[in-house]
Amino acid sequence: MLITLETFEKYIKARQDVWAVISKLNAVGIDSMTFCEPFEKAEEVLYKVLFNGLQKDIIDWWLYECKGVEGKRDPKYQVIHKKTGLVIPTTTVKELYEYLETLDD
């Protein structure tokens, strides 16, 4: 990948922080679309430079589905290797990074 593990960890943390703020705003009835739109456009450009489509999809899944807003992992969500059927560790940001490296074009 084009970024280091340290930078990737900061990137994931920033995305989690933004999502937490958006969720809190929405919970009290504040429409966060004005805040979100510029961020999402900038993020889309960053995604295209740093990650391929599959990597982007996995990052989104990891952040918003298997981790959720509170950042707690739901054990029912795992990455399974298609050929071997083995679980691919993605519990930590480091494990996620290492897995994404294997998906480089």
CB 63 within 8 Å of CB 72: no
pLDDT at 3: 92
Q: Give the global pTM.
A: 0.78
pLDDT over 90 (residue 8): yes
- Reported confidence tier of residue 63, pLDDT bands at 50, 70, 90: confident
CA 14, CA 68: separation in Å to the nearest integer? Answer: 14
CB 5 within 8 Å of CB 96: no
pLDDT at 69: 54
pLDDT over 70 (residue 86): yes
Phi first, then psi: give them for residue 87, nearest 5 degrees.
-75, 130
Residue-averaged pLDDT of the chain: 84
- Reported confidence tier of residue 70, pLDDT bands at 50, 70, 90: low
